[in-house]
Amino acid sequence: MKTRKTDVLIIGSGLSGLMTAELLSSRKNVMIFTKKRVEDSNSYLAQGGIATAMQETDDWYDHFLDTLQAGCFHNESAATRQLVTDGPEMIQKLVELGVQFDRQSNGTYQYGKEGAHNRARILHIGGDSTGKHLIDTVKKRIIEKDLVVEGETAIKLIVKNNRCVGVWSMDEYGNMTATYAQAVVLATGGLSGLYPLNSNASTITGDGLALAYVAGAELTDLEFIQFHPTLLVNEEGKSVGLVTEAIRGEGAVLVDEYGNRLMKHEHPLEDLAPRDVVSRVLYRARMAGNKTFLDIRSINDFQKRFPTVTRLCKENGVSIEKGLILVAPGAHFTMGGVETDVDGRTSIAGLYAVGEVANTGVHGANRLASNSLLEGVVFANRLAHSIRSETDIALISGLEWEGIEILADSPTYEEIHEIMNNHIGIERDEHGLNQALRWFERYIDTTVIHEFPSLGEIKKRNQILVGWLVAGSALQRTESRGSHYRTDHPYQREKWQQRRVKRRKECYESVKSTAGA
Ligand code: SIN
């Protein structure tokens, strides 16, 4: 079996992984594994932008409060504060790397607005191709340094005495390699690909979460899965991309097939309510047999402002000329994940996590729009700093391959999707969650050790494990909060709304007094 050595091994090539590599590569030997190509990441598909309080009329504590309020105050407040206060410096860093954010004709940045933000504070690139431009810029630098191994899937973390010392991986031909490293960084994204309707790259199916779980790392908050209200759906009802929330920021509204405004009386922010709220309204409308559309008729120069959505519509035979785009809510982002501190450390020494796979606690129970690219760069920077400042340790190597657990009996991917959708979707209840849990357990019970498994067998095992973890977490949380809505424990909207506003006021006062703002 082949063996490699490096200082830092990063698994995943989204923005957080690439930025960690960029920030470390002048001091450390860095290697990045990506399952397919560098571009196969959620970051690459990100449309809306990157939120940051940079304007003179804005304040970090306003961004902070919007983040807490959208997250239903389940957020870790110190980490959230770090996220928003480090934002402007990281935007500057991106600009130094060559990123060009969209500007107005007078040369100042153009800021967009999205759901649950108090004001327009979202920087974007190429209208609605922010992720693509960000990744292309950072990727160019990484490729020049020859850091990426494409087509390499991490299949098991190598852990010795509760220290992660490397990774077993497999290429597309089934060849296995042991890579030993002082630091292993999970940057593998979330789990939304387990749902039939989702906005994610096809590679994002929870593998990093499964790797961490099997190694014994702590995972938290997995019940919080964000469903984006507006995925583009084709005639067969399949999701074929995202329709960015920034379009609602410019004035588009959600309607049913009769032209009724769906969000009109549902929330004070109407179409720009937090995503969990909007998704539930659309979900219920669809369950009642209605169709849900984004009405873009009020937007001038739509094609120019939103070229990615225009292209997606064209490629999928969706006409934008009539001004109504058929949309449906679908899985988009995993708030929970591998628990980390603000420097990316997990509960296993030598193992770090960054980006969507990590749970720093900044997103709470529902992520605020355009905070995920921000999270990617802010926490990549902190992680790189903490890895740089750690003293070198001797590499451990030469460990025996002991095989891997796979399922002797496994369902189809479609069956997994169906269980996730039917029982751990936008609305859940105890009965359904128990059914899902038992269903996953049936397959977990068939686990056997295999010395030379296929990638397909490992992927299936990972999905079953992750589905089971999500079902278990959702069952344990006997309340409704943010994206986790239990129909057997509903919240009373009026009361909840008042509570959110009261909490916002309290937080505002305490942050203001500590910041001297
Ligand atoms: C969007 O453009 O609507 C998605 C941005 C995000 O997920 O924050």
154-193 pLDDT, tens digit per residue, is 999 999 999 999 999 999 999 999 999 999 999 999 999 9
Percentage of the chain surpassing pLDDT 70?
96
Q: What separation in Å is there between the alpha carbon of 128 and the centre of ligand 1?
A: 10
Q: Across all residues in the chain, what is the average pLDDT?
A: 94
Q: In this structure, are residues 187 and 413 in contact, taking their beta carbons and an 8 Å threshold?
A: no
**Catalytic residue check, 367:** no
Residue 207 above 70 pLDDT?
yes
Q: What separation in Å is there between the alpha carbon of 392 and the centre of ligand 1?
A: 39
Residue pLDDT, tens place only, 19-34: 999 999 999 999 999 9
Locate the ligand 1 atom nearest the alpha carbon of residue 48 and give its number. 2
In order of start, what are the domains of the chain with their CATH numbers? Answer: 2-224+335-389 (3.50.50.60), 229-331 (3.90.700.10), 404-476 (1.20.58.100)
Exposure pattern of 170-188 as b/e (b: 16+ CB <10 Å)? bbeeeebbbbbbbbbbbbb
Strand pairing of 292-295 and 324-334? antiparallel
* Of 81, 121, 248, 275, catalytic: 275
Q: In this structure, are residues 184 and 351 in contact, taking their beta carbons and an 8 Å threshold?
A: yes
Ligand 1 interacting residues, C-beta cut-off 6 A: 46-48, 242, 244-246, 369-370, 372
Q: Mutate which of 15, 250, 370 to test ligand 1's pocket (most atoms within 8 Å of Cβ)?
A: 370
Measured at the alpha carbon of residue 406, what is the angle toward residues 5 and 3, in degrees to the nearest 5? 15
pTM, two decimal places: 0.95
- Quick one: pLDDT band at residue 453, thresholds 50, 70, 90? very high
Exposure pattern of 289-326 as b/e (b: 16+ CB <10 Å)? ebebbbbbeebeebeebbebbbebbeeeebebeeebbb
Task: Indicate which residue's Cα is closest to atom 8 of ligand 1.
Answer: 370
Q: What is the DSSP letter of 472?
A: H
Q: CA 2, CA 200: separation in Å to the nearest integer?
A: 32
How confident is the model over 403-407, as a mean pLDDT?
97
Q: What is the DSSP letter of 382?
A: H
